[in-house]
Amino acid sequence: MSDHRIMIVDDHPVVREGYRRLIDLQPGLHIVSEAEDARTAYIRFRETEPDLIVMDVTMPGTSGIEAIRHIQQYDESALVVVFTMHQGAAFALKSIEAGAAGYVTKSSSPDTLIKAIFGVLDGRTVISPDVIEAIAQDRISGTNTRLGDLSTRQTEILRLLACGWSAEQVAEALSISLKTVRNNHYQIKSLLGLQTDAQMVWFALEAGLVQAPADEQA
């Protein structure tokens, strides 16, 4: 029986090397390609056709969630395990909505990631225990209920705008028209019941889509 072919996507070369060493040591798994951003991930996926992708969601430019959505549009059977620092429900729920079949945090043990990879390859949806707890708490508190009203694409536009990107930059990054960005900008505020861009930024911060600068977190 041949090895399952794995692609890893993370913007840190040292992290990718760690993935490679961990995964290549597992019987039945073999790394076939790597990517450092969402755009390259899509290209490498089409070039190498891996059986599964291990992907971070936080990368320069567009997020891993957008990469998942784009890859799923090309191949709806693509298998993705998100491996990320984000423990909050927002990224997890939107990643799964985009098409991820696994979501594991980097605070989990290496064994948890390997089990998630094999679980997803076996056709299961696998979420690490800390994220399951965060999702449960989110459902109880209703913190991100309104975020569920946004599509995956709208969530990405919200995240980029909240990070300070101009509408022109968002349009170029997502390969959509400036008019589409502006229309979605208006729709996002309307769906979330927000009046100003400042409120939109605060919403993104509270939902965990973006992080405040370190000096504001102190």
Domain of 203, CATH number, reads 1.10.10.10
Write the CATH number for 25: 3.40.50.2300
**Residue 79 falls within a domain, yes or no?**
yes
Per-residue model confidence as pLDDT tens digits over 42-77 = 999 999 999 999 999 888 788 888 899 899 999 999
Measure the N-to-C terminal CA separation of the chain; round to a whole number of Å.
Answer: 53
What region, left, alpha or beta, does residue 190 occupy, with left being phi > 0 and alpha being psi -120 to 50 degrees?
Answer: alpha
- C-alpha 181/C-alpha 185 separation (Å) is 6
Kindly state whether residue 194 falls inside one of the protein's structural domains: yes
Q: Give dist(CA 143, CA 166) in Å, integer.
A: 27
- pLDDT per residue as tens digits for the range 109-160: 899 999 999 999 999 999 988 888 877 777 666 555 577 788 888 988 998 8
**Which domain range does residue 112 map to?**
4-140
Number of structural domains found in the chain: 2
The reply to whether 125 and 175 lie within a common domain is no
Q: Establish if 216 belongs to a structural domain.
A: no
Listed residues 140, 162, 178: the one ending a domain: 140
* In-domain check, residue 172: yes
